[in-house]
Amino acid sequence: MSGRSGPFKPSPVPARAGKMAAAGRAWRAAALLSPWWLRAPCRAYGAAGGGGGGGGRGRGRLLLGAAFALGGGAGLYLAARQRLREHWAAELPAGSLQLTLYQYKTCPFCSKVRAFLDYHGLPYEIVEVNPIMRKEIKFSSYRKVPILLANAGSPLQLNDSSVIISAIKTYLISKRNSLEEIVSFYPPMKTVSEQGKEVFEYGNKYWLMLDEKETKRIYPVKEVRVEEMKWRKWADDWLVHLISPNVYRTPREALASFDYIVREGKFGTMEGLFAKYVGAIAMFFVSKRLKKRHHLQDDVREDLYEAVNEWVKAVGKHRLFMGGNQPNLADLAVYGVLRVMEGLEAFDDMMVHTKIQPWYERMEEAIQKAAVAF
């Protein structure tokens, strides 16, 4: 199958991770993998796999994979705990929409999709992808996450977090087109990345494919639509790149992240020591590469503070959300990216030293209320 969204035939998902690997082999496997933020968004290199169990060998591999895929240590903890689970909600008015999300729990792009689905009360099943073996997505030549398998009468594969959000939102609003027709409005375009590799991009991924009447209902004035698209793109192009340098800013912060996951994961003594110290050291140095690549300040916290305060300023004092009284797609994107830092020092510092907390708490409440309502 090509990277384009389209029909799929997924293979069965393994229920558990594999058995134990030697620590040296696990490290060599992980060392070969470039972290997702150094290449394309959420390439399938690494958060904890879907089974979450198995012997120490699988755990050692998956933990190191998790280190390279995650934008935050709390996310590492969540990734290790995450198992195949389902979110249930009321049936859609238009009928049943069956969704399966292939993801890394702590990937900011995957977190965006979950925030969107949760807020809209859409039922979906989650499959955690093993970052090393990637057997869960072997049915697809598109090797990034998130991948959303959707069935609204015919099975479809949707790729790219922003395409997923735009296509499903269009489907919820518009009754004129089938989901398959809507997905066809987001064709992949082959381009060359900064590293000189061919990749697929979606030039119109921030657009909702609505007719004039629908557009006026959702976006009363043109500026509302332009604003939403601008800040969705900002979340993808800038905000997401501030996560990892802040999470692994110092050896102490990197070590705290791995200490947390080792304790929660109940790893063996030697395996835990290996994962904790080698993983923390690796991610500390990776964070320095990211800092240089994205031209961040000496203290990367300042970039994070400036970014979130810029967002708060854009929302303004007279709106609860950028979407007004309810979150719009930009609100959900920014929230999805930021929440992967929850439980970490970087997140706590952000709450103390910026003006983001009131908006963030309103977002949490809005999503919780949506879950209860459905």
Establish whether 142 is a catalytic residue.
no
Half-sphere exposure of 56 (CA within 13 A, CB side): 15
H helices of 125-221, where?
Answer: 161-173, 179-183, 212-218
Q: Look up 42 and say whether it is catalytic.
A: no
Euclidean distance between CA atoms 65 and 34, whole angstroms: 10
Catalytic residue, chosen from 42, 45, 68, 110, is: 110
Cβ(102)–Cβ(127) below 8 Å? yes
Give the integer Cα–Cα distance in Å for 117 and 126: 12
86: its two tokens: 């389902």
Tell me the torsion sign for CA atoms 330, 336, 342, 344: negative
CA dist 44 and 140 (Å) reads 11
202 is known as an active-site residue? no
Determine the Cα–Cα distance for residues 91 and 31; give it in Å rounded to an integer.
Answer: 45
Instruction: Look at residues 252, 59, 40, 270 and name the one whose alpha carbon lies nearest to residue 160.
Output: 40
Give backbone dihedrals phi and psi of 285, rounded to 5 degrees, phi first. Answer: -75, -35
Strands (E), the chain: 85-87, 98-103, 124-128, 147-151, 155-159, 189-192, 198-201
User: Containing H/E element for 251?
Assistant: helix 251-265
10 Å CB burial of residue 224 (0-12, 13-18, 19+) is middle
Residue 278 and residue 67 in contact, taking contact as beta carbons nearer than 8 Å: no
Catalytic-labelled residue, pool 45, 102, 107, 321: 107
Report the alpha-carbon distance of residue 355 to residue 63 in Å, rounded: 34
Contact in structure between 195 and 39 (CB atoms under 8 Å): yes
At residue 337, the 3 state secondary structure works out as helix
Of 98, 108, 113, 106, the C-alpha closest to 129 is 106
Which of 109, 202, 219, 258 is flagged as catalytic?
Answer: 109
Which are the catalytic amino acids? Answer: 104, 107, 109-110
